[in-house]
Each structure stands twice: as C-alpha cells, then as structure tokens.
Structure 1
Amino acid sequence: MKTRILIILLAFASQITSAQLLSKDQEMEQKIDQILSQLTLKEKVAMCHAQSKFSSPGVPRLGIPEIWMSDGPHGVRGEINWDNWGYAGWTNDSITAFPALTALAATFNPELAHEYGVAIGEEARYRRKDILLGPGVNIYRTPLNGRNFEYMGEDPYLASKMVVPYIHGVQENGVSACVKHYALNNQEEWRGHIDVHVDDRTLHEIYLPAFKAAVEEGGVWSLMGAYNKYNGQHATTNKVLMNDILKGDWDFDGVVVSDWGSAHDTDESALYGLDIEMGSWTNGLTASKDFAYNDYYLADAFYEKLKSGEIDESVVNDKVRRILRLMFRTTMSDNRPLGRMNNQEHHDVARKIATEGIVLLKNDNNFFPINPNEKLTIAVIGENATKSMTVGGGSSELKAQYEISPLEGIQKRYPNATILYSMGYSSGPSAYGRVIPPKEDQDSLQQAAIETAKKADIVLFVGGLNKNHHQDCEGGDRLSYDLPYNQDALLDGIIAANPNVGVILVSGNAVAMPWLNKVKGLMQAWYLGSDAGYALADVISGDVNPSGKLPFSFPVKLEDNAAHSFGELSYPGDSINQYYKEGILVGYRWFDTKKIKPQFPFGFGLSYTTFEYSDLKTNKTEYAKDDSITVSFTLKNTGKVAGAETAQLYVSDPKCSVMRPAKELKGFDKVLLQAGESKEVSITVPVSCFAFYSEEGKNWVVEPGDFVLQVNSSSADNKLKQKIKVE
C-alpha cells in the first residue's frame, strides 16, 4: 500500500513539475511577445549582429542587456579588446585551464563531462559571460586537422554521450553552451571556402549525431555555424543544415551564431538560419566603429531589405525571438547563480579529468609506474616538459592562473630522485598563422640531450606536438604525420645512449611512431590544462592507475587513414571542392571493415592491473524493433591494484541491404574495481540504435535479421560475443 501511495505521489509531482515548466515557457514566450511589440525595426536588426569583438547589443531604453560571449571550450579566454584582437590587459581574468576535449573524451566518463561543464560554466558565469563558445564535436577524420584537440574523437556515439552532460553542466549556471562547428568543419586547410561533398547517409550517421544529441538531449541554447561550404552553400547560412535539419527536423529553439567571419551574404544570412552575426570584419575597425559593425550582412543591408519589404519582417522577428529566449535563459534569468572561479574544486575537477584521460599505450616489463621512493636518476628530455600548452592554438588559448609543467610535476613527486632536464629540441614561440623559427641550435640541443640520457637510470622523453602554427592549432593543418622538430632522430640517439626510455606524448593528434618497438613505455598525455604536471606525475608514479581509452584510432602510416587513402580530392581537396570518398567508414569503421591493422585501435588503453570478462547474457534472444536490449556480463579485476576498465558494446549487422561497417560502438560503461573484485555489468541499448540512414526513404531503418553483439576492451579486442535476432 505504501509503495502504491509513493508511486501516485511521484507521478503527481512529475505532472506538477511538467505543468510548471510549461507555464514558465508560456510565460517567457508571452514576455517575448510584449518586448517584440515595443522594439523598432532598427533595434531588432541591431540585436542580430555584433557591436564589438565578443558582444552583441541590447536595447538600453527597454532594459534589455547586451550578450557577452567568450571563446572556450577548455576555459574562459582572457579579455579581448573591444575592436581588435589584442588582449585588454586585465589583471583579474586569469582562469582554470581544463584539459582539452580529446582528454575528456578519452575518460569515457559522462559523469566527468558533467563535472567539467559545471566547473567551466561557473567560471564563465563569474566572468559575466552569457555564451561560452564550446564544446566542439566535429568528427576526427584526419590526424592532420589542426583543431582535432578541441573535439571528442572519431566516433559519433562517444561524442554524443560526452557532449550532453557537458552542456547540462554549463547551462546549469545560466550560461549558454554553444556547440560547434556545425557542420563538416573537419580540417583547417582552406576552411573558409572548401566545399564539402558528402552523401546523406554519411552526413546523418557520422557527422550530425553529436550535434543532434546536443540539441535534442542536451537542450543546447546556442550553436555556432562552420566556415566551410556544404554542397555549394556556406555551412553557417546553409538551407539544408540550418532550416531543414537544425530548426526543422530537430526543432532547435535556440540561437545560431556565426563563426567569426563565416557569413558572406545578406539574403542567405537572413533566410537560412543565422541569428547573430559575429566577426565579419575580423581585422577590427575599418573607417569607424559605426561603419564596421553596421556594414555586417545582418546590419544596414538587412535593415534596408526589411524596410523595403524585400524580406518580410517575420524573418527578423524570428531571430529576435530566439535571441530574447536566450536572454531569458541567461542574462535576464531570475534565478541565475553568481558563478565561481579558480577555486580548489575546479582545480580538482581539472586534475581528475586529466588523470582519467591519460592513455597508457605501451608498458613493457612494467616500465610504468616508476616508484617515487627509489633513489633514481631520471632524465626528463623534451621541450614539451616545460613548454606552456595553455597559450597558443588559436581561439582556444587561455590565460591560466597557473600551469604546472610535466617537469615541475615530476620534480615535486620524486623528491628522492635526481632529476636531470635537457630540452632536446626547440620549436620556437607560438604565433597565430605563422611559424617563428627557434633561436637555439638544434644539433647542440640534441647532443646535450643524448649526454644527459647517458647519466640516467631512466629517461622520460616528453615530446609530441604543441600549439604552434601547423601543429595542434587553429588556422592551419599539420604538414606531416611525423613528429616535428626532428624528434624521431633525437629519440633514436637517446635510445642508443640509454635503452631504458619511456615516451610521454603531449598532443591532440595521432603521430607516426617509427621508434615504438625500441621504447619501453608510452603514454598519450593530451593537453591537460592547469594541473598537467601533477596529473602526469599521478599516473607515472602509480598514485593513479591509468584508465583512459583512445577516442580515435592511431594509423601506422598516414595512407592507412581512410580520408588519405583516396588521395588529394578526399583530403585536403583541390582548394575548391572536397569529396568524402570513404563515406561512413571513418576511424575504426575503416580499419575493421578493410582489415587494416592500426598502430593503436579506437578504445584502446592499458592499465596497471588486468581484467577478465565472462558470462555474457542478454535479457532475451529475439527482439522487436521498439525493444531495448540489456547485455550483462561479469568483469573481474585479476590484478593486484584497483583500477577502472571501460567495457565497450559493439554491434554488427552481418547481412544487410546496404554496406555496413564491421562493427559500431553502441554502448560503454566505465567500471572501477578493487584488486580481485568482480561485478556484474549491464549495458542497455535500444534496438532502434541498430538502424542505418536510408537515403532513399530519408529515414532510419532497422532491417530484421541477425545482429552480433560484441563486448570489447577496444574496437579491436573482442572479449565476449553473442548473436541476437530482430523480428
């Protein structure tokens, strides 16, 4: 009886909550109607374009505030001048630098994604920002893309599951997340004009799901258009992407913001989905402040077309309605929290994400962990051991309150060791859009590093990429798959001098590894933010057991990557057009289906312990299309230390009317186990997620027949398998 009463009360409470939400939404829309009726046409148009580098105007006479934006998604960018790209020189805009989104994706931990969003949202709110320009969910298509470090990997399911809680966390603070870059912005080379040609199935199965999840599950309040073209029309003002899919099929009720300078035409900007135009004249002022901003495509030219009746006023009303809706959710919200910045909780979240994101890729003879109590001589070699990774990289660069380097983190965690440091190579200073040659003599640096290696018991080489132009940086792609700055030759020299070498790769991208068989250990460390050095020392010392898994595949050579295997028209294009010839076979879908062995597969990551999978069961063996499948199995920690393992559920459709990948990720669960502990793990997925996108019917189809469920530790390592039937 008590249980029944409780159920009734809960149901009643749920109805009240739904009714209250409906009432709040209705009340908000009524207020928007009232405001719209009081706005002049000039005022409406003014709200649709920038008034400075990072703000759009309000209407002071009606008490409507400005909207202030900030670059993200790894922290709130330092304050920029009103009319140019220079920093304003504030002394109170230093923030917590959070790990790059590749590191977050590597945690395979949606709960951490929510903590990340809450913390960065609090910092944005404290800095009085209304829109945080992130997160990014463009799919990792090529390891040369300069902005891959800002995104969440190659798999649309993983990106979808990680982006939703991030958005929720940010927006709990009354700050809008702004998911970007919609869509198909998968390279920096020719990004402003390259015309991407991709079939509808690939678009919907690979490149749109994370955006769709951000809208339909994340409830994101704003979205940023991309620079590139799609099928002949710029993405930011693309009828199919914006009107038909985003605001039509997905019923997006938020604001579309242009990337800075991604609008190109008044008619298209007005009619095809753009709501706030930013940065169209990114060189700052032209003749005067008024001319610069009033000359935007959604400024004076838009006003004249509205005034003449060439464009109906309902067009601007829809844009302003969306902008006001955003304002009621953010800057005009009644119950907006105050935010916080640079507190211990934020640093703790950043460090936890960093340690969970580090991926152990090789560990011969238990090279890692290195005992911090032994009296060792450790040579730390490589510029990335000391180079700042929060500055540079383009719009995601940060003004961090502090940044602990890998060298500093190792020094503090190993007080009993003798730490020797040698730079090894030099990359020169970071500069956006250009390469500044280093002043140091590279041969001298290399020889000094080899001499340092000879004096050590252990060598930790901290190398990889950095935030310089043509590395992991906006505005240009990498020029080579190899490690830059002659690091391969440097590593060969170090290994010849001292074979006891472990490599720490700091990068947001895969790299070639001709030295892999010669080193004892390898960690993928990403860009880890303020506490990078502490997080690395946590894992190197064994204080934290590594549990990260790769969010994208590492090819042995560049030609093994799907996009590159089809030649220049596939990547980078001919400077005008580009064709995604690999279709849906992106990342592990390509490697598994074509039976090409990667250097390291998607979802791969070692641990300081071992795990055993057994006893696979499903809740039944035959399913209808509207059913859910629960897969359960036993996971046991068979080692001597506690550790976390991410079990991954893949689905195969062996017989289908269309080509399907060998397998696709459809579920995962990260499980923490003490030494010797076993747990029954359950992963539930809907049968509908087995669907493919039908170009003929323009819908999602699950064909009846047999499907194979695989429980894996990576895309390439199957532990358990079972066949089920869909009626």
Structure 2
Amino acid sequence: MEKQILLGALAFVLFASVSAQSVDTPVYLDDTKPVELRVEDALSRMTLEEKIAMIHAQSKFCSPGVSRLGIPEIWCTDGPHGIRPEVLWDEWDQAGWTNDSCVAFPALTCLAATWNPDMALLYGKSIGEEARYRNKTILLGPGVNIYRTPLNGRNFEYMGEDPYLSSKMVVPYVQGVQSNGVAACVKHYALNNHEVNRHTTNVIVDDRALYEIYLPAFKAAVQEGHAWSIMGAYNLYKDQHCCHNQYLLNDILKGEWGFDGVVVSDWGGTHDTDEAITNGLDLEFGSWTNGLSNGASNAYDNYYLAKAYLDKIKSGKYTTKELDEKVRRILRLSFRTTMNRNRPFGSMGSPEHFDAARTIAEEGIVLLQNKGNVLPIDLNKASKIAVIGENALKMMTVGGGSSSLKVKHEISPLDGLKKRVAGKAEVLFARGYVGDASGEYNGVVTGQDLSDNRSPEELIAEAVSLAKECDYVIFFGGLNKSAGQDCEDADRAQLGLPYGQDQLIEALSKVNKNLIVVNISGNAVAMPWVKSVPSIVQAWFLGSEAGSAIASVLLGDVNPSGKLPFTFPVCLEDVGAHKLGEYPGVKRENENIWDAKYNEGIFVGYRWLDKENIKPLFAFGHGLSYTQFEYGKVTLDSKAMTQDGKIVLTVPVTNVGKREGAEIVQLYICDKKSSLSRPEKELKGFCKVKLAAGETKTVSFTIDKSSLSFFDDKQHKWIAEPGKFEAVIAASAEDIKSKNVFELK
C-alpha cells in the first residue's frame, strides 16, 4: 500500500512538472512582456510563407494572421462616420447579416464645425466602441485631407481647409478610437484633394505647402495621437503612387515623424511589387477589388506583396529585411489590438451612442445668417409651418461611397420637426424639387420611394402655394450623396445647387418673409439668393439623429454654436485652385497621367482670400448665435519673447444677450515682416467658451516659437525669424475683434 502511495505521489510530481513545462507561455503570448520583445519572439517563430501571407489581404476586408501561432486575423471596416455593414468574403455585395446595423455619426465636416476637441474625443470613443463590438481591428478613418476646392466629392469626410484646426480635432478622435483597442487608420496620406482621375493624378506641390498645409494633421495624428495605422492615398506624388512613396512614407512618415504603425494601402492603391517592397507599404488590400480577378481561385496570392514578392526573395533579389520590418509593424498592431487581453468589449447601437451623435450634430450646426431674428421659430406665432424640399425626407446615411452605412434608424428633418412641434403647430410638406429618387447604394436599400413625375413648374407652383398660407417656410435643400455631388470617386460639376433649387428658393422668398433655408451638404455652395433669404442654416450630413438635432436648433432648444471649418466662396474664381487654372490637372501627352500643379502654394482657403483681398460669401470660422458676444481687448503678459520662451494672451468675452450660448474665440498670428512670403494671418489657437447671459470669462492662449514658424524648404526646417508679430483675436477670419503686437527676440 505504501509503495502504491509513493508511486502515485511520484507520478503526480512528474505530471505536474511536465504540465508546468507545457503551459509555459511563449514570450509573444505573454502580455506582461514589453511589446517589442513579443514582436521579435513572434517574428522568429514564423516561416517565410507565413510572413508573406500576413502582409496582404485574404478577403475584401481581412488579412490573415498566423493560425499556427494563435495570431488572429486583421479585420478592417470602413468609417469614418459609422461601421460599414458586412459584405461577402470576396465581393462588395451585402453579406445579408441582420445584426450589423449601426449608429451613423455626423460627417467629419460637422465634427470640425464644432471646433470642440471634447466632441472629437466623444466621437472617436463612441465609434471605436461600435467597431470593437463588431470585433474590428482597424477603423478606416478619420480623414484629414485639406479642403482645397469646394468641388471635391469627398470633402464631407474631412475636417476643413485649415491645418491647425484639423490637427487639433484629429488627435482626440484617434485617441478615442484607440482607447477601445481598435486602430484608427488616418487617411488619405497625402495630397488626395479631389476625386477626378484619383488613381492617375500626379500632384506637383512645393515642400513648403506640403509641410505647412497638407501634412500637419497627419503629423499630429502620428506624434500626438499616436495613430496605429495610416492609409496611403490613390494619387501620385513625385511620380510614385502614395501607397508606396519613398518621400512620403519612408523619409517623412517613418523617418522624420518616427511612425511605428502600419501603412495600409487604399483598396486598389498598390501598383508595383518593387516599389511596394522598398517604399514603405506594409499591408496591401484590394488590389483587385472583386477579390477574384480574372477568375483566379488564388487571386490573393497574385497580389503585389504576395507570390511575386516571395519569388523575388527566393531568387535572391531581396533578403527578408524589408519583409521582416513590415511583419514587425503588423505584429505590433496585433499586440495593441486583438491580442491585448485588456481590450474593452465595446457596444453597438446603444442609447449613449445615439445621444453622442445628436450632441455632436447640435454643436456642429452653423447659423450662417439670421436677418430680423427669424430664428428661433416662435411657436406662439406659428400655427402652420411649411416644410419644402427633397432633403427634408431623403435618407443621407446611404450613399457617398465607402462611408455609406446601414443604420438602426435615421430621423429625417421632416420627422424631427413634426415630433418637436406636435400638438403646437401643423407641419405641411411640399416636394418643391426632385433630385435623386433612388435609394440604394452597395446593396443597402433605404426603402424610400421618392419618385415623382411632376414637372419642375408644377412642383414649384405647389410649394409657392403652400408657402403663402403658412407662418414659417423651411426649405431643406443642398446636395445629396449621389455620384457627382458629395460622393466618392467623382467631383461636383459646379459650385451652384443642383436640381433647379435656386429658382425655387427665389420663388419662395417672394411670398413669405419668414423663409429659412437649411443647406444640407458637406461642401460650400453658391447662394445667388443670399440677400433675399433672411435665415440660412448649414446643417451638414448629420447621421442617425439628423432630424432631432436640426429641430432642436430651429426651435431654439439648442443655441447654435458651430462655425465653418472652410470658406464659402461667392464663386469658383474666388478659389486659388480654380483661379490659377490647374484643377483638376493637365493630361500628359501619350500617358494616362494628369499633372495637378498646386500653383496657389500655401495660399489655401482664407489665406488666398486675404492675399487677393476677396470677400467671401461666408468666412472661415463664421457662425452666429441666438445671443450676442462682446470682446474686450487682447493683452499680452510680455511684449517680447525669446526663441525658447512663451507668451500668454488673454481676452475677456462677455455674453451681452439674454440667453446662454457658446462662442468660439479664434487666435490668428500675423508675421509683420518675413524673408519669405507669408499669409496675412494664420489660425494658431481657438477656444470654445460657454457663457450664461451677462457672464464674462477670460480666454487665454499660450503661443511659442512653433506658433510663429514657417517651413523653409531650402533649409528643410521650420524657422521662426526674429521680428514683430501681431496677435489677432477674431470671431471669424474676417471678423477681427482685437490686435496686439509683440516681438520675437
């Protein structure tokens, strides 16, 4: 008996010892170890074929991990305004899921119009939770390409014309997304500023404009937001496609900025194996957008970074040096996301997300004009309200390109208004115009039947007749997300409104003095009727809670506080990109390449208007309120600053109206004398301050050498030249409130 007990004890000890050895955690699976140690350990265990497989797609939105080692796949999803519905493995057609409906957040133009980094953090955190719940690794967004022309079909996805504003708004968005263990993928890097010939446009721009205008938001996302991935752009720069571009990816992004994340190709943005190997691309997607090019069953093996790369290594043309670096970056991404045991679980379609979408929408709506204080609508004087225009009921979450969504719900402006005034006023609708009656994009169907065979004359006559008998008229028009408007893969044909809306608005203005035009768009539009219409509201594409947010502002439940993130020009000739004649580029002889020279250089947006002394329709930074604000004089804590010092500026702002409101105080800097041509002024600070009626608050800004610097492309560095500067406090780029001069020693 004792012998049996002894043998049993010995067996237990041996079993325990073997078991302990068998469950020893490899370094790469041990999240208590430093990430770089885990990366190197995982890399050392991978075969050549596993490494190659890891750097290109295996489906429409997925790339393989290493199943043998327990390293999971990487799943991407389109953003940046909501989580795209699932599509089939190899095709764009819908997968037919019933649980992939999302919350649509406002377009990024609206987010930028809040001028509130707290809203950007809320946005990123909320959309990141939805991506995490769907178990996505990478959210393909946000977009920060600069608004160079109002014709760009994708402007609605970006954050406006100013690099400083875009930089300050993108950082908290990225941080919010990544707090969920989902990588933000900042796009489209770089110089992707129009959609015409987007795969064949070669951008020609000087380094100064590149560094001062087109790169700052990307740099901020990398160095301040610590973005885990970047998406290359479709276009070319220096005759190399941006998805494998030596200067942009290796020299600047990974070299100067120290980016340690993954460079992802845009879908179909890779064109050459050798350039993809050497010029900074890490992860290739969508090279044949149907996934099964030429009927090949092994289409993904035919990608540029697949078998072609493997063969070049086996032939001795390349070592695994570049391959290992690509895999390191992808492993680093995995350890930050899918292999992080502390990764939150996320949530989708929650009440909190709908609340966030509504709050951001309300803060981003811009009151452009309000003559006679027609707004907010006074329900004591409104028994009948006429709502006119297709955009009052057309769903805007479907369409627009890759940002098209399948939503849990979308509240239309008409429904939002009806719900808000129920029992207090009658809301009557007339179509007014027919734009795009379709309601489908990429297999997502709105279910709306917007067909109407009446003539424009009949529609206008009906609208005018209704307008005559109502106390208020609200026209909902603007653009939509159909091809040729605010939509990917095409630019707008003109600055003016489509579908004969100008004629309709003029007719309405003649029969009702309480006319409110609500422009729904992601772009500036011409307004030849601006003097005839008392109230104009810029409402953007507002997502799931659009109707509720618009009704809140129109009825005064919310005091509008948004300001424009880009200039509304009077006409296209007032835009540098069009005035100087190079948009959208000049076709090369005998080549399918279009050279687009950015002749305006650094003078984009309000910088161009200042330089040419052109008055805008509505200025960058413009936005009104239902209250009024009064600015005091800006004061400086010092009249001089050393190269390594700082100056603090303060300005008192008072709400002199009768209700609470929020004002966005803007700081511009003017260099009084420079060795290089500089803009008249440049945004270098802003602060959104909430004030009760009669309340005064002091707003402070701190400026340092970086606020005064320009990029000297001959020396290839940022320079702050000694001399006099002017601090300009403003309510918009043309509404200057106070100035003060100081000197850089």
Relative to the length of structure 2, the TM-score reads 0.93
User: 1-side partners of 2:503 and 2:586: how far apart?
Assistant: 31
Specify the code of the residue in structure 1 equivalent to 2:742: I
Q: For 2:662, give the aligned amino acid.
A: A
Asked if 1:518 corresponds to 2:532, the answer is yes
Residue 553 of structure 2 corresponds to which residue in structure 1?
A: 539
* Aligned: 1:497 with 2:511: yes
In 2, Cα distance between the equivalents of 1:447 and 1:469? Answer: 28
Residue 712 of structure 1 is matched in structure 2 by: 730
The aligned residue for residue 116 of structure 1 is 123
Matches within 5 A, 1:393-408: 393-408=400-415
Equivalent residue of 1:152, what SS? Answer: coil
Query: What code does the residue aligned with 2:603 have?
Result: L
Q: Secondary structure at the match of 1:310?
A: coil
Listed one character per residue, the Cα deviations across residues 67-112 of structure 1 (whole Å, up to 9, x for unaligned) are: 0000000010111111100111111001110000000000000011
Measure how far apart 1:264 and its partner are: 0.1
In structure 2, relative to structure 1, the CA distance for the partners of 1:229 and 1:186 (3 Å cut) is same
Retained in 2: the 8 A contact 1:97–1:390?
A: yes
- Confirm whether residue 577 of structure 1 aligns to residue 595 of structure 2: yes
Aligned residue for 2:358, secondary structure, equals: helix
The aligned residue for residue 425 of structure 1 is 433
The one-letter code sitting in structure 2 at the alignment partner of 1:537 is A
- Provide the residue aligned with 2:667 in structure 1: 649
1:440 aligns with 2:448: no
Higher deviation after alignment, 478-487 or 279-288:
279-288
Paired amino acid for 1:149: F
The yes-or-no answer on 1:482 pairing with 2:489 is no
Name the stretch that deviates more: 284-293 or 329-338. 284-293
1:439 deviates by 5.4
Say yes or no: does 1:305 pair with 2:323: no
Select between 286-295 and 274-283 the one with higher mean Cα deviation.
286-295
Q: Displacement, 1:576?
A: 1.3
Tell me the amino acid that sits aligned with residue 315 of structure 2.
S
Aligned counterparts, 1:282-293, within 5 A = 282-287=289-294, 290-293=297-300
* Residue equivalent to 1:199: 206
1:470 equivalent to 2:484? Answer yes
The aligned counterpart of 1:331 is 338
For the Cα contact (< 8 Å) 1:655–1:705, is it kept in 2? Answer: yes
C-alpha root-mean-square deviation of aligned residues, in Å? 1.6
The one-letter amino acid of 1:312's match is: T
CA distance in 1, matches of 2:68, 2:31: 25
Mean Cα displacement is larger for which, 466-475 or 621-630?
A: 621-630
Determine which of 680, 698, 706 is the counterpart of 1:680. 698
Counterpart among 665, 675, 681 of residue 663 in structure 1 = 681
Shift of 1:26: 6.7
Distance 1:439 1:47 in 2: 51
Output aligned runs, 1:556-571, within 5 Å: 556-567=570-581, 569-571=582-584
* CA distance in structure 2 between the aligned counterparts of 1:534 and 1:372, rounded to whole angstroms: 17
- Name the SS of the counterpart of 2:611 in structure 1: helix
1:622 CA displacement: 0.5
1:133 deviates by 0.2
**Residue 396 of structure 1, CA deviation:** 0.3
Indicate the residue corresponding to 1:613 in structure 2: 631
Distance 1:26 1:245 in 2: 30
How far apart, CA to CA, are the structure 1 residues paired with 2:320 and 2:401? 38
Deviation at 1:288, TM superposition (A): 5.1
- What pairs with 1:201-220 in structure 2 (closer than 5 Å)? 201-220=208-227
Q: 1:14 maps to which residue?
A: none
User: Cα offset for 1:328?
Assistant: 0.2
Q: Please give the alpha-carbon distance, in whole angstroms, between the structure 2 residues aligned to 1:338 and 1:174.
A: 9
Counterpart Cα distance in 1 of 2:440 and 2:679: 41
> What residue number does 2:6 align with?
none
Return closer, same or farther for 1:323/1:628 CA change in 2, 3 Å cut-off. Answer: same
The equivalent position to 2:279 in structure 1, one of 272, 279, 286, is 272
1:153 corresponds in structure 2 to 160
Shift of 1:24: 7.7
Change in 2 beyond 3 A, CA 1:449/1:631 = same
Q: Which amino acid aligns with 1:495?
A: S
In structure 1, the residue matched to 2:4 is none
Partners of 2:451 and 2:290 in 1: how far apart?
28
Tell me the amino acid that sits aligned with residue 634 of structure 1: P
Q: Which residues of 2 match residues 105-254 of structure 1 at below 5 A?
A: 105-254=112-261
Deviation at 1:372, TM superposition (A): 3.4
The aligned counterpart of 1:8 is none
**SS of residue in 1 equivalent to 2:293:** coil
Deviation of the 1:297 alpha carbon: 0.3
Q: 2:645 maps to what in 1? A: 627
Structure 2 distance, partners of 1:290, 1:336, is: 36
Q: How much has 1:496 moved relative to structure 2?
A: 2.5
What secondary structure, in the 3-state scheme, does the structure 2 residue paired with 1:497 have? coil
Contact 2:413 2:551 in 1 (8 A): yes
Q: Are residues 24 and 709 of structure 1, via their aligned partners in 2, closer, same or farther at CA, if it must alter by over 3 Å?
A: farther
Aligned: 1:702 with 2:715? no
TM-score by length of 1: 0.95
AA matched with 2:123: Y
Runs of 4+ in 1 over 6 A off after TM superposition: 23-26
1-side partners of 2:528 and 2:453: how far apart?
26
Structure-1 separation of matches of 2:68 and 2:615: 65
Deviation of 1:573 (Å): 3.9
After superposition, what is the alpha-carbon deviation per residue over 1:139-163, rounded to whole angstroms, capped at 9, x for unaligned? 0000000000000000000000000
| Corresponding position of 2:474 | 460
- The residue aligned with 2:445 is none
CA contact (8 A) 1:555 1:599 kept: yes
Match 1:80 to one of 87, 94, 97: 87
